[in-house]
Structures are given as structure tokens and as C-alpha cells.
Chain A
Amino acid sequence: AQKVTQAQTEISVVEKEDVTLDCVYETRDTTYYLFWYKQPPSGELVFLIRRNSFDEQNEISGRYSWNFQKSTSSFNFTITASQVVDSAVYFCALSDPNSNSGYALNFGKGTSLLVTP
């Protein structure tokens, strides 16, 4: 069975603070893919990053960075110097081609981030 856990349901920060969103996943397979999506108040799902299980290199994109650690089965997401426009629900997802769910994205419950001025 595979599972994605986002333990933080809601986070509230003040603008310019750094914030880390946690994601822990479970899978028995060695080949899998991890994703982060953003869902702003308007409701669409916006792709942020995709990472395969063989690439543990951390990634930085502007104010966003991701820390993938297979040893702890975590794929955490950090926003540096948060802005009001970062307010959204953020979803971590796992795709495990060798599992029963195939290529479907298994989503966590999401973390709602509120950035106040």
C-alpha cells in the first residue's frame, strides 16, 4: 500500500517568514515519482515540481526549494521569504507505477498555508 502524509493541516505565517511544508510517503517500490501541486483560492491545481526516486538532489527554484530524503521517506517543500500570493493549499503526491494504482497520483490531504501581511 502506498500513502502520502501531510501532517500539517494549516500553517499561518507573516509575510517574509520562511515556511516548510512536510510530506512523508510510503511505498515498497524502488521506482516512484513525487510531486508538489499548489491550489490557490481560485481552485485550479498548479504543478510545482516532479522528482523521481533515483534523483535525491535538492532543487531550488526562486523562493521555492525542495528537500528529498529517501532515508526518511520525506519530500519537504520550503518557501523562503513568503508572500501573500503564496497563500494556497499545497498538495504532495506520489505516483507508483508498480503498485495497484498504477500511474494515478496519490495525493496527501494538503496543507493550507496562509500568509498575512
Chain B
Amino acid sequence: DAGVIQSPRHEVTEMGQEVTLRCKPISGHDYLFWYRQTMMRGLELLIYFNNNVPIDDSGMPEDRFSAKMPNASFSTLKIQPSEPRDSAVYFCASSSEAVETQYFGPGTRLLVL
């Protein structure tokens, strides 16, 4: 079975550019989570969806960040405009139920110059 798929795996961009990260959850999983990992703050939740509906976006840093889930098999995390402090590894995870195990994608390593 395919796991969580994320693209791109690496992204280098310049400050001010728009960045779009993509995620395909495991088929049949109703919950999708976006996390960010930095040296300073560790792993932290940005937003999560249930059945394509955003449930908790309290972790989204600011208005420059937005996330969508147009269907059960696809989600995007967009940063516009990007800033150097957005440099981090962004993980997508999915689970079959809210309290079940979250399986993580390989992550997208973002570097904003």
C-alpha cells in the first residue's frame, strides 16, 4: 500500500515567492494533518482536516499561510509571500480515525532565501 505522498521533496525559493506544498493521504484515511519541524520549535501542528473540512487551524502562523483540501485524496499548504523564517521541514500525516495512528509522509524540506 502506498503511504502518504508529499511533493516536492525539496524546495528552494526566494523571499516573497509563493510556495505550494502538496500531500496525498493514505486512501481511506479521513484525517489529514500538516506539521512543521524546525530546530527552534520542534514538531508543531499547523492545521488538520476531517473529511476535507478544516477542524483546527490555530497552529497556522499567520495569514501568509493557507491550506485546502478540495477532495479526499489531495491537500495543499500554501505560503504567500514566503519569508526566510518559513524555512523548515513540512510534514503531512493521515489517520483513519481521529485517535488512531498518524502516518507521516516523507516531508518537504523548504528553504527560503
Contacts and interface: CB of A to CB of B under 8 A. Distances in A.
B109 A43 contact: yes
Interface residues of A, number: 23
Interface in A44-62: 44-47, 50, 52
B98 A97 contact: yes
Contacts of A91: 43
A88 interface: no
Interface of A: 33, 35, 37, 43-47, 50, 52, 91, 95, 97, 100-105, 107-110
A107 B38 CA distance: 12
Contact of A102 (B55, B91, B103): B55
Contacts of B89: 43
B48 A107 contact: no
Contacts of A46: 104
B106 A44 contact: yes
B39 to A, nearest CB: 10
Interface in B64-113: 89, 91, 93, 95, 98-107, 109
Main secondary structure of the interface of B (DSSP, over half): strand
Contacts, number: 57
Contacts of B48: 102-104
Contact of B56 (A104, A105, A110): A104
Contacts of A104: 33, 45, 48, 56, 59
A47 B106 contact: no
B99 A103 contact: yes
A35 B99 CA distance: 11
Contacts of B102: 35, 47, 105
A104 B93 CA distance: 10
B45 A101 contact: yes
Contacts of A107: 42-44
B44 to A, nearest CB: 8
26 contacts: A33-B99, A35-B101, A37-B104, A43-B107, A44-B104, A44-B105, A44-B107, A45-B91, A45-B93, A45-B104, A45-B107, A46-B104, A47-B101, A52-B99, A95-B99, A97-B98, A101-B56, A102-B55, A103-B31, A103-B48, A103-B95, A103-B99, A104-B56, A105-B102, A107-B42, A107-B44
